[in-house]
Amino acid sequence: MEPPATSRRGTDDLISGLPDEILHCVLLLLPSTAAAARTSLLSRRWRHVWAHMPELVFSWGDPQDDPVPASSVFHDSVDAALNAYSAPTLRRLEIHMDIHASLVPAHRIARWLRFASRRLAGRLDLYLPALGDEEGSQGFDLPVCERATEIKLFLRPKIVFRLPLAGSFAALTNLRIILSTMNGGELGRLVSSRCPCLRKLFVLVTLADDCDVSIRSESLVSLFYYANTGKLEIHTPFLEKISVSLVAEAYIVAPNLKKVAWHDDPYDPSRHQLAVVNRHLQRLWIKQTSMLRMRLFDTVNELRLDLSISQGVEGYQSFLKDTDKVPACETLCIKSWTNPHAFAPTMLHLLGRWRCTRKLKLYVQKIERCRMSGCPCRLPESYRADNITFDSLEEIEINNFRGSREQENLVKFLLSRCNAETLKSLEIIMPYQFVSSKIKGVCEEIRSICHPNSNVKLNVMGDMGLEPFLF
């Protein structure tokens, strides 16, 4: 009998006969560079294929590592792989360590960044946020990476990095710096004069000095800024999205803004100025203590309000005053985290300000009762709602529904004041631990008063996300 074809071929390896470019595509399907390097055991042909791959990914705690190597061993393996890499350019370098790994010495990080500055023509991602005791701050210079298009540095707070004295990040479009420490003046110069193509900037750092930061950019379109800053000055003609926190003073000129998230507490119009902005926004996200910022805008497509009213009569009076003038919005999202005042008057006051909204989302963390004598939230007139209607309301979403009397009455009130033909859907989302026979009865009663044309969805928020609530 003639032997089968596989026997005639013997040990011929058709895959190894493929060109390097195809083998690189195969190796890139593996979870890490370490896994790709292990293919060198297959044959002499595979020995150096990994060293020419266009992407290098190093991950401490790789599922294939059993046992997980010591952090120092991992550091050495990264150094060895970078020294052995022979391709002239690299489109991606990622070094990822678990948060529980030991600290990476600053000189190691500097060495890896020098390699990136010479070879990288693409994306750099360093995730090194180790926890643990540190003897003191460590510093290193961030080298110029002229061909890098995206840099993400997730370090640890006591890592201080400094910028080079010359050169630019000419191709950089996306920069993300998290948890490390840097000089505020250097940060401003980096964005303003060293990154001519930068479009997205994400900064969550500690400034070594609470100094002023000035950012002037003709390319920036998105800015997330969370840093202890004296005064933040921004001049960005094409900026569309901004999120700001921990800024004592701000002066922002951004005529093209579309999305704003302002989390500073409290907001002071004399110190936080949006000097040139659109009167219309696509999205606005603010705290209750920054509600005066709403007066800068006439209309907002989507408004998210994180409500946290202060205790006492003055706290509630301030809430009433801050919401005296509000922008019109199509989608209103109210999240109530801390409200030591009566629930019904608070909701009635807010909903009365936005009667023309088309979509309403409510999330109530906890319902309390005001015990302050003389507080306006306890006055009988605060409970009056004779003139409140919602003729434009099409969608209602109630999150964290626990079946309390206050929540039940709110839903029934909304349904009673809506145009039955206009309201298209009601969605009630419940935490799984609160689903009981009582809440089932409440939901059934709410369903019974809804218009037959309304789509009523009852869902449970469980470990796997939203799940249909079936009776």
Q: For residues 23, 27, 29 and 32, what is the CA-based torsion angle, rounded to 10 degrees?
A: -170
Contacts of 5 (CB under 8 A, 6+ apart): none
Handedness of CA 289, 298, 385, 439 (dihedral sign): negative
Give the C-alpha separation, 26 to 44, whole Å: 17
Contacts of 121 (CB under 8 A, 6+ apart): 89, 90, 91, 147, 148, 149, 171
Output the pLDDT for position 2.
46
371-415 pLDDT, tens digit each? 888 899 988 888 888 889 999 999 999 998 888 888 899 999 999
Give the C-alpha separation, 343 to 446, whole Å: 19
* Best CA proximity match to 356, nearest among 322, 329, 375: 329
Beta strand spans in 165-295 (E): 174-182, 200-207, 213-216, 222-235, 241-253, 259-262, 272-276, 280-287
- Cα 453-458-461 angle, rounded to 5 deg: 150
Give the C-alpha separation, 216 to 235, whole Å: 5
* Best CA proximity match to 140, nearest among 170, 171, 117, 169: 117
Half-sphere exposure of 400 (CA within 13 A, CB side): 12
The answer to whether residues 235 and 253 touch, using CB atoms and an 8 Å cutoff, is: yes
Burial of 298 (0-12, 13-18, 19+ CB in 10 A): exposed
Output the pLDDT for position 170.
96
Output the pLDDT for position 1.
43
The answer to whether residues 351 and 326 touch, using CB atoms and an 8 Å cutoff, is: no
Ranges of residues in the chain whose predicted pLDDT is under 70 = 1-17, 24, 26-32, 35-37, 39-45, 47, 61-69, 131-137, 210, 264-266, 288-289, 462-471
